[in-house]
Structure 1
């Protein structure tokens, strides 16, 4: 006698031989949907870098921790008050030795977008990348800058 198991399109296990008894819990495992961790975005290699945003009287300061990249890996775009920060990095490492070749490669990318407040002077935005930190300065328009407190004399 054969011990074949047919797996129909709906994924349930059908026993073709009445002498073969599979535990019911095994059938349940194959009939249930996989958890979302296995079905969507599993091991895509995409992570979003953490961002600190600080507002001062004159500007907004954005700092993004992105170590291991080069300045040329980044692209910053501004379109209709939306700032897009993206990076793409590819690396390949090939080692040829006596009887084998080892090749490792990697790819990573991300894209983050931020809607800027109308108070930002888009013409004066600048960015700097140093020691793994991407810093973006978003200066405020003159009319949006906080004025220092002052004392008003009573006449």
Structure 2
């Protein structure tokens, strides 16, 4: 017997349980994609997304560099701290004042508080960490200590 056989109104056919599982998965997935229109009025469908600014972390011989995009924010709205080997960057981007005469059709920019934390390698010199903010980009320079630099050891005979 090649496969399971089931009877259908059109006659006999091969039953593929994996195909049916995939169809069921697609049906459930489509339920989550649909808006719950019966719960909210059409005019109240504006949602504010949770904001988590993106970060890039690079390394060279001298330092680690953390860059975080913070568009529309000011230097005073950002806090950088280091405690127990964890670098934390936090702040809040406030929602612009809503004007009474404006009708918003779409709000895609996220607002609110955020906090990003990164475990810092042991070779970072904590008291020499430097942070700069320019053009909506926060750059945190984490210098490496002298002991972190590679050292060539001569093998003697």
Preserved contact between residue 52 and residue 62 of structure 1 (Cα < 8 Å): yes
The answer to which structure has the higher helix fraction is 2
Preserved contact between residue 58 and residue 146 of structure 1 (Cα < 8 Å): no
Gaps of 5+ in 2: 1-27, 37-46, 105-109
The TM-score, its normalising length taken from structure 1, stands at 0.59
Indicate whether 1:35 and 2:39 are aligned: no
Alpha carbons of 1:142 and 1:37: their partners in 2 closer, same or farther (altered >3 Å)? farther
Alpha carbons of 1:45 and 1:37: their partners in 2 closer, same or farther (altered >3 Å)? farther
Alpha carbons of 1:111 and 1:38: their partners in 2 closer, same or farther (altered >3 Å)? farther
Moved over 6 A (4+): 36-39, 152-155
CA-based RMSD: 3.4
Gaps of 5+ in 1: 1-31, 96-100
Bigger relative contact order, structure 1 or 2 (CA pairs below 8 A, ≥6 apart): 2
The answer to which structure has the higher strand fraction is 1
Q: In the alignment, which residue of structure 2 is the partner of 1:75? A: 79
Q: In the alignment, which residue of structure 2 is the partner of 1:66? A: 70
The TM-score, its normalising length taken from structure 2, stands at 0.58
